[in-house]
Amino acid sequence: MLYLALVTFLVVFTSCEKEDEQGPSFPQQLTLQAVGIATGTPVQTSLPGTDLEVTGNAFSMNFYDPSNGEKLGTLTDINVAAETFPDGSMKGENFTIFEFEEDNSTLVLHNFIDMTPLDETTLEGVIPAEKTQSNLIAGTGKFSGASGGSSLQAILDMSAFAEGTIGFDCIYSIQFTE
């Protein structure tokens, strides 16, 4: 009887230990759509799940599950650097914070974005392929310990850019490596 109790204890203990070693479980991929018109607001803020403090112009809007249109939370895109070229193209550096309403979890991306003009007021934005492998820099809540990268397909309405307002329609595809 003592032997059976000892064996049962070891099996249960080993099972729990293996679950702990595996760490948190993430989906392999998460696709999110950010849509909205936002006016930049100057901010200096700490990024969730990091010890980084950034300064830039923050643009906030809702984000959704593109498969069913369900609102999932709020995205804040903080532009920390931008460069405009004579052909109308731009390069930007930003931090994107996804705040999930359901459980207050967050994901933070550090992006370098290339933007190419489609016409006089519209830019197409993408993250260069070589920058998509490890631009997921932090997560909190259910995404604590997450690692991975993301790609971006964005259409940006720049018709009110002189007033600091941009129209966003962005699809983020986030690939988790753990």
pLDDT tens series, the chain, 178 aa? 433 333 333 333 333 433 344 445 667 999 999 999 999 999 999 999 999 999 999 999 999 999 999 999 999 999 999 999 999 999 999 999 999 999 999 999 999 999 999 999 999 999 988 889 899 999 999 999 999 999 999 999 999 999 999 999 999 999 999 6
Is 135 in contact with 108 (CB distance < 8 Å)?
Answer: no
pLDDT of 20 = 41
pLDDT of 129 = 87
pLDDT of 159 = 95
Scanning the chain, the segments in alpha helix (DSSP H) are 2-22
pLDDT of 24 = 55
pLDDT of 19 = 37
pLDDT of 158 = 95
H or E element at residue 117: strand 106-117
Start-to-end CA distance of the chain, whole Å, equals: 41
pLDDT of 25 = 65
Residues near 167 by Cβ (< 8 Å), separated by ≥ 6? 36, 37, 156, 157, 158, 159, 160
- CATH topology for 26-176 is AOC barrel-like (2.40.480)
